[in-house]
Every structure is written in C-alpha cells, then in structure tokens.
Amino acid sequence: MDMKKQRRHQTLFISFAAGGPNQYTGKSMRKAHKGMNIKHEHFMAIVNHLAAALKEFNVSEEDIQAIAEKLMLMEKEIVEA
C-alpha cells in the first residue's frame, strides 16, 4: 500500500468528516471498505486512536466529541455484519 497516498487520503477525509473545508471525493464508505471484514471493535479502535491523537495535539474535548459523533454516523457503511 502506498502509505503516503493513504495518509493524504485519510487527512482529507478526516478534515471533511470534521466539517473542514475539504470535500471528500473518494469511493463511498461501503465500497471503499467492502471485503475488509471490519468489525465494530476495529472501527472503535480507529475512533479511539483518532481521539487520542487529537487530544495529544490539544484539541478541545468538545471538538473531539463532535468529530467522534460524525464518524459514528458512518459506522454502518464501514463495518461488515
């Protein structure tokens, strides 16, 4: 996997999910994650890692919570039953 490309893609996506100025133009969440066998615990690990990283950079708890809530809305599109 091209990690440089992946980091850029994730940065743009997180900015979009957080209400930033970037527009996400990639595949749908369902299509991008199809076949990856992502479970709820995997999804939550990513949300928790992101929250910890934001906290490390002194992002307010209010903003972290708002971002986490937006990500949680996408879980059904990412997690495979």
Instruction: Answer yes or no: are the C-beta atoms of 13 and 46 closer than 8 Å.
Output: no
| Mean pLDDT across 38-65 | 94
3-state secondary structure the chain: CCHHHHHHHHHHHHHHHCCCCCCCCCCCHHHHHCCCCCCHHHHHHHHHHHHHHHHHCCCCHHHHHHHHHHHHCCHHHHCCC
Residue 17 is encoded by which pair of tokens? 């999910």
Domains of the chain, with CATH numbers?
3-78 (1.10.490.10)
Q: Could you tell me the pLDDT band of residue 38, with boundaries at 50, 70 and 90?
A: very high
Residue 5 confidence (pLDDT) above 80:
yes
The pLDDT, as a whole number, for residue 81 is 63
